[in-house]
Chain A
Amino acid sequence: MILRLALGSLLARALTVGMTILAIALSVALFLGVEKVRTGARASFADTISGTDLIVGARSGSVQLLLYSVFRIGNATNNVTWESYQDIAARPEVDWIVPISLGDSHRQFRVMGTTQAFFEQYKYRGGRSLVVKQGHGLEDLYDAVLGAEVAATLGYEVGDPIVVSHGLASFTEHDDQPFRVAGIIDRTGTPVDRTVIVSLEAIEAIHVDWRSGAQIPGQTTPVDRIRQMDLKPSAITAALIGVKSRLQIFGLQRLINDYPEEPLLAILPGVALQELWQIVGVAETALTAVSAMVVVTALLGMMAMIFSSLNERRREMAIWRAMGARPATILGLLVLEAALMAAIGAILGLALLYAGLFIAQPLVDSAFGLWLPIGPPTARELFVLAGVIGAASIASLLPAIRAYRLSLADGMMVRI
């Protein structure tokens, strides 16, 4: 009966109570949404690379190397010479090695030169391999295999011609040597989706007439002559390595880091990711803190609402007292009302979150390559909801204690 009366009392003040509940619901949805994006981003970052034991590049920061070699963010400051690459590839510890050559682009997407081994060795999301769903892999010199998003955004199909631009944001096109779309890779949710893959030799081929970043004036080698040439690259950007036994990882890493001919850096992807989190973690914490503050603000609003309702409810409190309710019952009634508001708000917030997820999931996926999983609420989310209800009850204690005092001081009649 008390519960029914509490609900009735809330219903009688539907407008103010509704606004309060809406504020709580929105803040809860925001908080949970931020959490979802945060964990989703973490998961998809961590899922980007698996099965690779070491990444080798020119000496720089390990996070930087991870970012440009795996995430195509930022640039390499230096290259790894082909000789060093071959030295490392010849090591007995090395099971497989995949060279990567970056630096050119097609529209807003990066072009990556690599070998067929990339398709065999690159793994994501716990050991999944790339699947070329249309066409085939790299066969001809001028074959290009597109990530799913490249194909979708630019509307390419197998057989279409594409031209690679020199550098990342330039107007110089390698239009003398057009490529042909040979295949399109299934969506992976990794940066591969946004990459144009060509062979290492092709990268070499389009730069035949180039010296130190500039086109040699007036020189255009015809394509059939290029096809005859030995297109051994002189340098690559980075390489992914798998070792024969996990025990050898650290030995090989030390060896590469101490490589005498050239300053190189070998990193363990997991360790570098961990370092990345430490950097991103500050922003993450700030984001969580801000959305938590929004929840706190909504609860403070609720507290103010209860406070301001106390005066007009003094008669009601006097009735409760006259009927035999203890002051503690009145206190409990107010806390119960607050808990009810918070519970309705929390459930509504959860509903808003799911509605938002259903709408935003495809948009976020296509815009940021971030897949937000929709599943039953996690223990952590339920804990957050319980926390909101608990915090609301505690926040309502202040006005409730005031009501307790008033009901003791007022006696049976309320003086107004």
Chain B
Amino acid sequence: MADQALTLEDVRFRWPGRASFGLSVPSFHMTQGESVLLLGESGSGKSTLLSLICGIVTADSGRVEVGGSDLATLRAGARDRFRAERIGVIFQQFNLLPYASVSDNIMLPLRFAPERRKRAAPDEVATLCSALGLPDEITGTTAGHLSVGQQQRVAVARALIGQPPLIVADEPTSALDAATQDTFLGLLFERIAATESSLLMVSHDERLGARFDRVVRLSDIAQTERMAA
């Protein structure tokens, strides 16, 4: 199954600390180019799952594979490099370094990913910006001065630059109003289709489901537990 974008098998994870939150995922897969919407209540562990997939935290047991590489076999430094090379990340909000320029923000992951830097065309920042409807002259301005909608688009540009095979988005639309949400998703899907990346997006808003290949509930793929203090 070479075209597996993401594989989770028998994954168990628990945050350190006494009364901590634990998560276990028996089996979850995504194929390359697939777009999946992951629904779950607030506090159900969606962000925790994304942290596991990105290799920012590591599973206590089980297998997390991204594009066929088992994250557990990588050492911490290699895992950070792997994330920079292969995964584009979009947060719910506050995606950007407020003091850095738009173009520095977009190129930030390339700083840690030499191969992805090679893949990125020299004018890719400009191409992405115009594709996402960001005015040209914006690239030099400081990210903190942008509107929230503009910031989210810059975050998409940053996730997409250098065409990482997997895009992970943690409620990227929740800070946007309905109309902006719709154009935002339209642009996101357009870009993803162009680069044939896989998209795993987390949300608690079921109405977004129509655009995705598959809609999954966290409660269907994972058991969560909370230890009493």
Q: Which residues of A contact B (CB under 8 A)?
A: 1-2, 4-5, 8-9, 11-12, 315-316, 318-329, 409, 411-413
**Number of A-B residue pairs with CB-CB distance less than 8 Å in the complex they form:** 86
Asked whether, in the complex, the Cβ of B47 is within 8 Å of the Cβ of A413, the reply is yes
Q: How far is it, in angstroms, between the C-alpha of A309 and the C-alpha of B73 when the chains are bound?
A: 35
Asked whether, in the complex, the Cβ of B48 is within 8 Å of the Cβ of A411, the reply is yes
- Chain B residue with minimal CB distance to A11? B99
Asked whether, in the complex, the Cβ of A324 is within 8 Å of the Cβ of B109, the reply is yes
Asked whether, in the complex, the Cβ of B112 is within 8 Å of the Cβ of A319, the reply is no
B98, CB-defined interface residue at 8 Å? yes
Asked whether, in the complex, the Cβ of A1 is within 8 Å of the Cβ of B104, the reply is yes
Contact partners of A319 in chain B: CB under 8 A: 91, 94-97, 108
10 A-B pairs with C-beta separation under 8 A: A8-B97, A8-B99, A9-B99, A315-B94, A321-B80, A322-B83, A324-B84, A324-B109, A325-B80, A412-B51
A363 to chain B, nearest CB (A): 43
B89, CB-defined interface residue at 8 Å? yes
Q: How far is it, in angstroms, between the C-alpha of A8 and the C-alpha of B51 when the chains are bound?
A: 28
Q: How far is it, in angstroms, between the C-alpha of A411 and the C-alpha of B54 when the chains are bound?
A: 10
Asked whether, in the complex, the Cβ of B51 is within 8 Å of the Cβ of A413, the reply is yes
Asked whether, in the complex, the Cβ of A324 is within 8 Å of the Cβ of B100, the reply is no
Contact partners of B16 in chain A: CB under 8 A: 409
Q: From residue 178 to 195 of chain B, which have CB atoms closer than 8 A to chain A? A: none
Q: Mark B67-84, 1 if CB is under 8 A from A, else 0.
A: 000000000110011011
> Which of B56, B77, B83, B112: most chain A Cβ within 10 A?
B56
Q: How far is it, in angstroms, between the C-alpha of A8 and the C-alpha of B96 when the chains are bound?
A: 13
Kindly identify which residue among B81, B91, B101, B107 contacts A322, using a CB–CB cutoff of 8 Å. Answer: B91
Q: Mark B41-65, 1 if CB is under 8 A from A, else 0.
A: 0000001101100101100000000
Asked whether, in the complex, the Cβ of A412 is within 8 Å of the Cβ of B111, the reply is no
Contact partners of A409 in chain B: CB under 8 A: 16
Q: How far is it, in angstroms, between the C-alpha of A372 and the C-alpha of B42 when the chains are bound?
A: 70
> Which of A316, A321, A327, A413: most chain B Cβ within 10 A?
A413
Known contacts A1-B107, A8-B100, A411-B47; is-contact A323 B56 (Cβ 8 Å):
no
B113, CB-defined interface residue at 8 Å? yes
Q: How far is it, in angstroms, between the C-alpha of A381 and the C-alpha of B178 when the chains are bound?
A: 63
- Chain A residue with minimal CB distance to B86? A324
Q: Which residues of B contact A (CB under 8 A)?
A: 16, 47-48, 50-51, 54, 56-57, 76-77, 80-81, 83-85, 89, 91-92, 94-101, 104, 107-109, 111-113, 142, 144, 158, 170
A123 to chain B, nearest CB (A): 63
- Chain A residue with minimal CB distance to B54? A412
Contact partners of A412 in chain B: CB under 8 A: 47, 50-51, 54, 56, 89, 91, 170
Contact partners of A321 in chain B: CB under 8 A: 56, 80
> Which of A8, A11, A320, A329: most chain B Cβ within 10 A?
A8
B162 to chain A, nearest CB (A): 11
Q: How far is it, in angstroms, between the C-alpha of A9 and the C-alpha of B144 when the chains are bound?
A: 11
Asked whether, in the complex, the Cβ of A324 is within 8 Å of the Cβ of B56, the reply is no
- Chain B residue with minimal CB distance to A316? B97
Contact partners of A4 in chain B: CB under 8 A: 100, 104
Asked whether, in the complex, the Cβ of A324 is within 8 Å of the Cβ of B81, the reply is yes
- Chain B residue with minimal CB distance to A413? B47
Kindly identify which residue among A1, A9, A12, A411 contacts B51, using a CB–CB cutoff of 8 Å. Answer: A411
B164 to chain A, nearest CB (A): 10
Asked whether, in the complex, the Cβ of A322 is within 8 Å of the Cβ of B48, the reply is no
B165 to chain A, nearest CB (A): 15
Asked whether, in the complex, the Cβ of A323 is within 8 Å of the Cβ of B170, the reply is no
B44 to chain A, nearest CB (A): 13
Known contacts A5-B104, A324-B81, A326-B77; is-contact A12 B56 (Cβ 8 Å):
no
> Which of B81, B96, B112: most chain A Cβ within 10 A?
B112
